Chains A and B, each alone.
Chain A
Amino acid sequence: MRIGVDVGGTNTDAVLMDGNKVIAATKSPTTQDVSSGIINAITTILTQSNVGPGAIEVVMIGTTHFTNAFVEGKRLLNVGVLRLSLPSASGIPPMSDWPERLKNAVGNHVYEVGGGYQFDGRENAPLDEAAIAAAARSMRANGIKSAAVCGIFSPINGAQEERAAEILQQEIPDLYVTLSHKIGRISLIERENAAIMNASLSEMSVHVVQSFRDALLSLKITAPFYISQNDGTLMSAEHVERYPVLTFASGPTNSMRGAAYLSGAKNAIVADIGGTTTDIGVLANGFPRESSVTVDIGEVRTNFRMPDIFAIGLGGGSLVQGEGANLTVGPESVGFRLSEKALVFGGDTLTTSDIAVAAGQVTMGDPSKVAHLSKDHVQKALDVIHDKLTQAIDRMKSSANEVPLILVGGGVVLISRDIPGTSEVIIPENAAVANAIGAAIAQVGGEVDRVFSYEALGRTQALEQAKKQASENAVSAGADPDTIEIVDVEEYPLQYVPGGAVRLRVRAVGDLKLSKSIR
């Protein structure tokens, strides 16, 4: 049996699955310390189902914790940004395009030193080791605990970044170091941004993973646990400690994969209504449609492959303000304080959840606390809620044809009417915990990313080799060989390089091998 957990900004959801059957599910508030929320949720499902901790084979955790922490700019480490680039690239210093707020949150400690490679692997400039040592001393003087290292063309050759890390750690032995070539692809600014984001979360990631570990330990669950990453595949706890940035888009991916699984729909619009926002995405053949443009996170540009998500400020905790024609819903939200702030819970703030209770769409808290709301006021608020969702869905639709709309997330209770432009509104069983189910069915991936010579091998054979290697990598990461699929092939011909050199990036995924497959 497997457990899927989703730690969101507002709620922590958990599901217990046996093969492809959901045995138990729960939703409980996310706690400040993260771990007690997880303990509460897992305890509930184990009690509900009368299953002992020994029967759990694996735990999968999805979390938007790191994304939220970065976007909010809270508790981020100051980052020493080391760019291996001179004499090139100085016209666009690191973080040029960051919003001031986040730039301040990570400090503005930027060091540009000699280094980098050319497009064909030649050195751009020798690594300026003395300048790196000087940068390290300056970082130490500024009390910096985490560094991001990004060199020109490091995805082609990571050696200079590795050497720079050695020098930094000689000067500051316990420095966290993020190397850009480990997480990003070609395009210096976006890769550097991802490295800085990751570095700013280095300490938090260790704490959060430890709190996951502690939570499972206190529940006597000794099964391995994994954390889901952007593409819906799993990574080990150790990997997440070092690369928290790879979880950034896992929330929407999990909820969409969960929605597809629960509804059986392959092509649909999915709206995941949470506490603060509604994330709208498109399912194409059971997988989230990917964004065709670069994705900004907290207004910082990245080039991760991510689901194409349109987020609006509408959720179960959204504030309802004003009256009549001036009535507004969101984007401000009480967030995870719903259970203290909302009227029905004895608070003083009118939220969308209060409206849903007043309209009789759901029972929670004390309905008498919203009995004073006029019928007009409630209807007007419902109009605004439905209009917001309708407009957002229309924006994401890829054709005029009506497609099904799958509603998931804790906020589905806000919706009580048909949505124009959709063929039907599906609220599957366990819709409230689709995220956790998406985490529970997450797969294992394997990747190959290296340069092949088409002249020596021919394209067909090179592709074959790369696919085989990616599949083997997935299997060694724990995938069931019978379920392996090649999900992505990217070819980057290296321009002007003789010999038909092509950089191939191939990704294979398969189900995690367990005693009972989910298929």
Chain B
Amino acid sequence: MKFTLQDTVDVARGAAFLGTGGGGDPYSGRLFADQMIREHGAPDIVDPMTLPDDANCFVFAMMGAPTVLVEKLMSGKESDLVIDKMQELTGKKADYIIPAEIGGLNSMLPLAVAARRGLPLIDADGMGRAFPEIQMVTFNVYGVPICPVVIGNDHLETVVVNARNPKSAEDISRSVAIQMGLSVMMSAYPMTGKQVRETAVPYTLSLALGIGRAIREGRHKGDPVDAMLQYLKTTEYYKNCAVLFDGKVVDLLRETTRGFSIGRCIFEALDGSGRRMEVQFQNEHLVARDETGVKTIVPDLIAMVDRETGEPITTEGLKYGQRLKVVGVSAAPTMRTPEALACFGPQAFGLKDPFTPIEKLIA
């Protein structure tokens, strides 16, 4: 499979949905990917289950603040630098590129890099959505070592992090990212094809494409949100999905602490019933509650979309008075195991509520 330029638009929209409020607007990443595809041709998108056991698979992502990246953009040279450095450190030549995070901007950068390097891109990732920290990936949950972490910036500076544990690798990398301009490219978790098959969330590029395409086509048919839900219901992992709330933003509390945009957004129903929903977020949406209790909770997905166009809205894009639909979607089974929940379940974000699958909450 290869993506066309129309496909990258759809993947970007689907990835914004999977960003569940965070992960940054994929738009600038898409322009970068389009530019790289125009210059170098589109990469092959490969099925993770067909990877040779010993294939060298390199993870690629950006780290920092998406609000900074929309100013700094990317040159492409910093991406080459990161891959080159990882090849040097591992003594292996990259055979494949795999995204760390399908949600948001990080869906697009691996696509750009794969095009630029002429490498195939694996249809899988480590989050199935967006998460704020680099240890919050299934690669880590299922035993792939995070280090070395290679970080590179637009000034062609690199830093290699070798840390005592994944959380420490995240903390050190983030401090470095701040000093390096808060918009850096990175690679970590160098792994084999066998490890990808065993640890990654499969077929998430296809998922992003399917979501984005359903929203686009739904706009011509009348109800893009419904069209997207219909599509999700045809999938194996994401079929438990629903519009949790249809309302307008009546309050928005937001502060930035430790580099995270933390806060909550209160919706009021449009039907005049006075019903409310509260969505709490830390970059990504964590939990959606109404008067009856929790409706969806991390790692299941909570996304907000424009109620007319189905366009996904990030927490940065939230404004008072917006009319949005809050959508809940089940996460892939590999993300709901006890080991996975220990890494990126509710308690990893300081929430008291236990994880309950969306299918039980909306039944």
Contacts and interface: CB of A to CB of B under 8 A. Distances in A.
Interface in B248-272: 248, 254-256, 259, 261, 270-272
B309 interface: yes
Interface stretch (B73-81, B199-207, B290-298): B73-81
A293 B311 contact: yes
A189 B321 CA distance: 26
Contacts of A294: 27
Interface in B96-130: 112
B356 interface: no
B319 A399 contact: no
A88 B72 contact: yes
B35 A92 contact: yes
B156 interface: yes
A401 B28 contact: no
Interface residues of B, number: 47
A89 B72 contact: yes
A93 interface: yes
B322 interface: yes
B225 to A, nearest CB: 13
Contact of A96 (B35, B77, B154): B35
Nearest to A122: B181
Interface stretch (B49-57, B63-71, B82-90, B136-144): B63-71
B182 interface: yes
Contacts, number: 123
Given A119-B68, A293-B311, A399 B270 contact: yes
A492 B270 CA distance: 28
Interface in A82-123: 85, 87-93, 96-97, 116, 118-119
B321 A289 contact: yes
Contacts of A225: none
* Most interface-central of A97, A396, A399, A494 (chain B CB within 10 A): A399
Given A186-B67, A290-B319, A398-B248, A91 B73 contact: yes
B353 interface: no
Contacts of A96: 31, 34-35
A290 B322 CA distance: 8
Contacts of A292: 306, 311, 313, 317, 319, 322-324
B307 interface: yes
Contacts of A284: 321
Contact of B70 (A97, A187, A491, A496): A187
B271 A400 contact: yes
A152 interface: yes
B338 to A, nearest CB: 33
B298 to A, nearest CB: 22
Contact of A91 (B65, B112, B254): B112
A495 B34 CA distance: 29
Nearest to A454: B255
B306 to A, nearest CB: 6
A164 interface: no
Given A124-B181, A292-B319, A89 B73 contact: yes
A97 B313 CA distance: 21
A188 interface: yes
Interface string B192-211: 00000000000000000000
Nearest to B252: A491
A290 B71 CA distance: 24
Given A91-B36, A119-B181, A187 B71 contact: yes
A404 interface: no
B309 A293 contact: yes
Given A119-B65, A290-B319, A92 B31 contact: yes
A478 interface: no
B355 to A, nearest CB: 29
B308 interface: yes
Q: Give the 10 A-B residue pairs with the shortest CB-CB distance, closest first.
A: A493-B256, A89-B73, A399-B270, A88-B154, A91-B76, A90-B75, A292-B322, A91-B74, A187-B70, A398-B323
21 contacts: A87-B155, A87-B156, A89-B73, A91-B74, A91-B76, A92-B32, A97-B34, A118-B182, A125-B155, A284-B321, A289-B321, A292-B323, A293-B313, A301-B27, A398-B307, A398-B308, A491-B254, A492-B67, A493-B256, A495-B259, A496-B182
